[in-house]
Structure 1
Amino acid sequence: MEVEVDENELKNFGAELLTDGRFGLRIRGWEIEAVKQSILKSLDLHQWEEKLQTSHLPEMIFGNSCLSLKHVASGTKIHFNAFDALKGWKLEALPPVEVPAAAKWKSRSKPFQQVILDYDYTFTTPYSGSEIVETEKARENISDVRCSLNWEDCKEKIDMVALSEKEPILYYNEVVLYEDELADNGISLLTVKVRVMPSGWFLLLRFWLRVDGVLMRLRDTRIHCIFADCSFPIILREICWREATFNSLAAKGYPMDAAAYIDPGTISQRLPTIMHETQKLIFKGNLITICCFTG
């Protein structure tokens, strides 16, 4: 999906393109930027294996790609990258999906060695984004002070109906963070996409897993920022996890054929909800409320 907007039209909405070779938009106190790079090379992969303490990584990792949204007044940046997502995968350490053929899938690189499938080869991650907050102490390079955003549980929900209303799209981008095709037996895919409108920005981080004939898993993080006031935006985050086995869907009359489940967006409502929560980012004055602690 390519979105072309005239710079004069952007100016009419109080927006402007980023400069210095950056691909993104500046609007209502936010800088929104996407970086797309090729997959990691072998040397980088080796370094990632050492840092993550694993010898198993997805087939395609776009390790230098990212999407970031920076609230300039507060110095707060919400960003999305593959390394932090894989840290979440490693920490959660789900048991491997039980599939008899899975060991054969993963032995393709070492066909004469026995493969012990003792890790989550689907690379499922609980990742919902990364945060950086530049406080005064951080600017003074005090390394033992860490800050995080103050997300509070709330009953408000993202208004998906309002988001579906026709509105000019000032900027759109989608970034693939990592992908594994499970040796042509399914898909494991982590992507993040954002679109910016005159009224605000909307982001979807999606982990999509399909193990053909066995399991489907969908983990979505949606974040919606409303430009209610340049210094006091409204930001909601919804995290929803869904999953189902092919057998359970077949029992409800749905097809077993994996070809029927190519697009997660069209079948998400068929998958039972495992977890759902909504949070609101708390602002104080014209700054995002942050929590700092020493480590």
Structure 2
Amino acid sequence: MEVEIDEEELKIAGGEILSDGRRGLRIHGWEIESFKRSILTSLEHRVWEEKLQTSHLPEMIFGNNSLSLKHLSTHTKIHFNAFDALLGWKKEAQLPVEVPAAAQWKFRSQPFQQVILDYDYTFTTPYCGSEEVETNCKKIASNNSDGGPNLFWEDCEEKIDMVALASKEPILFYDEVVLYEDELSDNGVSLLSVKVRVMPSGWFVLFRYWLRVDGVLMRLRDTRLHCVFGEHSFPVILRESCWRESTFSALAAKGYPVDAAAYNDPSIISQRLPVIMHKTQKLKFCTKL
């Protein structure tokens, strides 16, 4: 769902629409832009397989989709993209979810071959965004070691004020960007997406990985980022990550339904899934000596 930008409200809030037909806005020193394109072509798909050194990728990869939030004065950029997310999937290398019928529904194109599930076909990723500093048109990774600016996330006790975010405030810009999706051959869903909301007071991002293997497992990995517009030389950005997970059998033991149709919306059922990891961090910016 997209929300059309109200130019009058945006002007009152001190912002402006990006030029040249770009999807986004510039406000309080931030340039926020979303990109939505078609899925990877077959050629692009092969290139990604080579780069990621795998023959297994999600059914639908929106490799040219992304969300970018750039702080202009410090050249700091936070962005979300499918390639970096799949790098995280490769690195984490979770064991495959055991599904009795997996040989029938995931590899039905090769029915006479022995099936060995030796990779995480759910494409679960620990990825929660990318950050970098762009100086003189040169991108410097967050783990930079050449003496230039450095970005890192530091654990903190502060929490994102969700009550304040729920207050009535004009939405100057909203968009949802899908990065990849796999329907597990009609036996569930694996979905990675990012949503952004910009208000006069600041911006908020929800980055979500959602997995439902029907009758077996549900997994929800949410990352929320919040920035309040202010006069700081470097903006205060909080990032809160929360991972939830449960089997269908564990939910049934608590009296919850086991019908997969009851679990189509992760936002509604998230509180039923126990938390297995939670942390809050703050983005730090420093220049090495």
Question: SS in structure 1 opposite 2:73?
Answer: coil
Matches of residues 115-154 of structure 1 in structure 2 within 5 Å?
A: 115-135=115-135, 138=138, 148-154=150-156
Tell me the distance in 2 between the aligned counterparts of 1:221 and 1:291: 27
Question: SS in structure 2 opposite 1:150?
Answer: strand
2:74 maps to 74
Query: Are the equivalent residues in 1 in contact too, given 2:147–2:287 (CA < 8 A)?
Result: no
2:219 maps to 217
Query: Are the equivalent residues in 2 in contact too, given 1:66–1:79 (CA < 8 A)?
Result: yes
Tell me the distance in 2 between the aligned counterparts of 1:5 and 1:45: 34
Query: Are the equivalent residues in 2 in contact too, given 1:65–1:175 (CA < 8 A)?
Result: yes
Q: 1:52 to 1:278 in 2, by over 3 A?
A: same
Cα distance, 1:148 vs. partner?
4.5
Question: SS in structure 1 opposite 2:238?
Answer: strand
Query: Are the equivalent residues in 1 in contact too, given 2:6–2:172 (CA < 8 A)?
Result: no
Cα distance, 1:115 vs. partner?
2.4
Q: Point out the more displaced range, 66-75 or 231-240.
A: 231-240
Return the letter of the residue paired with 2:264: I
Cα distance, 1:280 vs. partner?
1.2
Q: 1:137 to 1:59 in 2, by over 3 A?
A: closer
Tell me the distance in 2 between the aligned counterparts of 1:147 and 1:211: 43
Query: Are the equivalent residues in 2 in contact too, given 1:28–1:230 (CA < 8 A)?
Result: no
Matches of residues 106-117 of structure 1 in structure 2 within 5 Å?
A: 106-117=106-117
Q: TM-score, normalised by structure 2?
A: 0.93
Matches of residues 26-65 of structure 1 in structure 2 within 5 Å?
A: 26-65=26-65
Query: Are the equivalent residues in 1 in contact too, given 2:245–2:276 (CA < 8 A)?
Result: yes
Spell out, residue by residue over 1:9-64, the C-alpha distance to the aligned partner (whole angstroms, 9 max, x if none). 21111010101221101000000000001111111111111110100000000001
RMSD: 2.1
Cα distance, 1:108 vs. partner?
2.8
Q: Return the match for 1:195 from 197, 216, 239.
A: 197
1:259 aligns with 2:264: no
Query: Are the equivalent residues in 2 in contact too, given 1:49–1:57 (CA < 8 A)?
Result: yes
2:164 maps to 162
Tell me the distance in 1 between the aligned counterparts of 2:11 and 2:250: 52
Q: 1:206 to 1:163 in 2, by over 3 A?
A: same
Query: Are the equivalent residues in 2 in contact too, given 1:106–1:115 (CA < 8 A)?
Result: no
Query: Are the equivalent residues in 2 in contact too, given 1:175–1:193 (CA < 8 A)?
Result: yes
Tell me the distance in 2 between the aligned counterparts of 1:147 and 1:221: 25
Q: TM-score, normalised by structure 1?
A: 0.91
Return the letter of the residue paired with 1:126: P
- Show structure 2 runs of 5+ residues with no match: none
Spell out, residue by residue over 1:206-244, the C-alpha distance to the aligned partner (whole angstroms, 9 max, x if none). 000000010000001100000132645321100110000
Spell out, residue by residue over 1:167-202, the C-alpha distance to the aligned partner (whole angstroms, 9 max, x if none). 000000000000000000000000001000000000
Return the letter of the residue paired with 1:150: F
Cα distance, 1:136 vs. partner?
6.2
Cα distance, 1:151 vs. partner?
1.7
Tell me the distance in 2 between the aligned counterparts of 1:145 and 1:54: 34
Q: Point out the more displaced range, 129-138 or 60-69.
A: 129-138
Return the letter of the residue paired with 1:46: R
Give the paired residue count. 286
Identity, % of aligned positions: 73
Q: Point out the more displaced range, 224-233 or 266-275.
A: 224-233
Spell out, residue by residue over 1:256-293, the C-alpha distance to the aligned partner (whole angstroms, 9 max, x if none). 000110000001111111100001123xxxxxx14669
Return the letter of the residue paired with 1:63: G
